[in-house]
Amino acid sequence: MKKLNFSTVMLWAGMFFLYAPMFILVIYSFNESKLVTVWAGFSTKWYGELFRDQQILDAVWTSLQVAFYASTMAVILGTMAAFVMTRFARGWGKLTLSNMITAPLVMPEVITGLSLLLLFVHMADLFGWPAERGMLTVWIAHSTFCAAYVAVVVSSRLREIDRSVEEAAQDLGATPFKTFFAITVPMISPALVAGWLLSFSLSLDDLVIASFASGPGATTLPMVVFSSVRMGVSPKINALATLIILIVSLIAFISWYFARRADIKQRSSSA
Amino acid sequence: MKKPLKFRLPKGQCWTIGVPYFWLLMFFALPFAIVLKISFSTPIISIPPYEPLFQYAEESLQIMLNLGNYLLILDDSLYYNAYLSSLKMATISTIGCLLIGYPMAYAIARAPKRNQTMLILLVMLPSWTSFLIRVYAWMGILSNNGVINNLLMWTGIISEPLQILNTNTAVYIGIIYSYLPFMILPLYANLSQLDGSLLEAAADLGSRSLNTFWKVTLPLSKGGVIAGSMLVFIPVVGEFVIPELLGGPDSLMIGKILWQEFFNNRDWPVASALAIVMLGLLIIPITLFHRYQAKEMEKTA
């Protein structure tokens, strides 16, 4: 079975396809030349330029704030929805809820963005709130679509865990509320962390929905990148991209490492 | 030291259902109702740029349904062509993702158990770094003085740079590149659960590997193929960023038109009508996806 078969070759070709563009981007971020595609020697000057660009720094801060609050809200909403989807009796209410929560997974972003913007405009008309679109409206929009991803991640974990522990806790007199926080949450905590991280990166990455939902006061990083990229390719963006790739890979490998260690520990204790 | 039972089940249950339900009704279902409403109103130059649908005057409630926006979509070949090319773009990209993604998912599912998480992580990692930045990376690679053209000219295969950026080819490359992980993930989830003894049985009965693949593996992974295809097809129909950055003037896609109608022409009613028609076209794939997902949930429950 050691022979090189078609699917293995495809796997490595596919991996090359996925990673080559990013490597090229990283290499060219150290290019001296202003022309992105002409190599003119090694330089880190674009990183310096990047850290002097106040517009980009402000946008990074806005994006981080929105992503932090949105992923926290998404974990709360998504976990509640996942709980309903897995633990409650089947019924009309449960069906609509699970349809509504998974809909943003596939909905084209322009439709979600457009509909949320029109909602905010209507609400401002009717109750004068939100008076201006900004960070708050982007937060609402991101929480809604990230909750869908959290619900999927958490509900698959909720189905796997041993329910007899929860039942035992309730038999011993714990309230459902207490059972949830003392028993269920620790058991599903890897899924909660994964859902939070996933939401965080989705929110940081979103351009289309943020463009619809935000106002003049709140420009997120993707919006700044998009408008500068539309003007043409810029070496500053290469430097920014390299930093993003670096940070994300670092976080991914750290979380993978801890997940694997927890997995090994669990296996050796149960064996 | 136990407190008396304070959170009784019905009350807790009420909150657990109530909060996400209210949120989704408010920020997901209601917005669609509003889009539907605005798609029937008349555009005017004011803030907001449309006429109210309901008017109460002289003791009579008037409801003005303006079908003009929909008629415009039917009438103007620009919109018609944009829908057609979006559907074509999505179909070809889905097939492309399937052709590349299926063997990859298959290889990962067949890999030793301890390597599988690592390989899946490697597939997912690019999609956690910014989507925008990955599309941007292709702008540098595909441009006239980009990496591909430089390489081809250097080796002497071509003497003039090929025009790749700002064509539909670039859009296909960008879409397949960006959506490939969404195809691989559900396929892997499905293929890794495949019962190996069925393959052995087929081999024992003298089936060749290609024959086994067509008759056993592929039919059993139908669910994963549907889920992956829908996860690629549906968002690609409304794609805006990739055709905007990699495509040229002739890569018309409905997401791009909607964006322009909304932000550049400020024609909110037509933008809403475009969104409603797009949803109408996607009803079948969305239902397919939901049915698959419900089935999956039933299976694991």
In chain A, the domains with their CATH numbers are 59-222 (1.10.3720.10)
Helix orientation angle between A135-160 and B9-24, rounded to the nearest 10 degrees: 130
Q: Using a CB–CB cutoff of 8 Å, tell me whether B116 touches chain A.
A: no
User: Residue B57 in 3-state DSSP?
Assistant: strand
Phi-psi region of A173 (alpha: psi -120 to 50; beta: other; left: phi over 0): left
C-alpha to C-alpha distance for B150 and B74, rounded to whole angstroms: 45
From the list A266, A234, A243, the residue with the least C-alpha distance to A37 is: A234
Only one residue has tokens 């996400």, namely B20
At B148, list the tokens: 């591909």
Nearest residue, CB atoms, B107 vs list A8, A18, A99: A8
Q: Rounded mean pLDDT of chain B? A: 84
Residue of A nearest to B106 (CA): A7
Length of chain A: 271
Min distance A73 CA to chain B CA atoms (Å): 11
Low-confidence ranges of chain B (pLDDT < 70): 1-12, 44-49, 51-64, 297-301
Contact partners, residue B119, CB within 8 Å, separation at least 6: A11, B108, B111
- Could you give the CA distance from residue B87 to residue A118 in angstroms, rounded to a whole number? 26
CB contact burial A203-233 (16+ within 10 A = b; e otherwise): bbbbbbbbbbbbbeebbbbbbbbbebbeeeb
3-state secondary structure of A88: coil
What pLDDT, on the 0 to 100 scale, is given for residue A270? 62
Q: Out of A81, A97, A144, whose CB is closest to B27? A: A144
Going from the first residue of chain A to its last (271 residues), give the mean pLDDT of each consecutive group of 10, the final group possibly shorter: 73 93 88 71 84 90 95 95 82 80 87 92 82 88 93 87 85 85 88 90 92 87 90 81 88 79 73 52
Between chain A and chain B, the number of residue pairs with CB atoms below 8 A apart is: 242
Q: Which of B150, B24, B111 is nearest to A81 (CA)?
A: B24
Give which of B22, B25, B39, B129 to mutate to test A binding, by max A Cβ within 10 Å.
Answer: B129
Pick the residue of B3, B22, B24, B148 with the most A CBs within 10 A to test the interface with A by mutation: B24
Give per-residue pLDDT as tens, B89-144.
999 999 999 999 999 999 999 888 888 888 998 998 888 888 898 998 898 888 88
- Distance between CA B236 and CA B239 in Å, rounded? 5
Please, how many CA atoms are within 13 Å of residue B2, restricted to the half-sphere of its CB? Answer: 9
CATH 1.10.3720.10 at B93-250, yes or no: yes
Q: Which residue of B has its CA nearest to A11?
A: B104
3-state secondary structure of B60: strand
Contact A111 B231 (CB under 8 A): no
Check residue B1 and give its pLDDT.
39
Distance CA B289, CA B224 (A): 10
Residue A19, pLDDT score:
93
Is B131 in Cβ contact with A17 (below 8 Å)? no
pLDDT value at residue B259? 92
**DSSP category for residue B61:** E
Q: Judge: A208–B241 Cβ closer than 8 Å, yes or no.
A: yes
Instruction: Express each pLDDT in B58-104 by its tens digit.
Output: 666 666 677 888 888 888 888 989 999 999 999 999 999 999 999 99
Of all residues in chain B, the one with the smallest CA distance to A2 is B111
> Are B247 and B167 a contacting pair, CB within 8 Å?
yes
Chain B contact set for A74 (CB, 8 A) = none
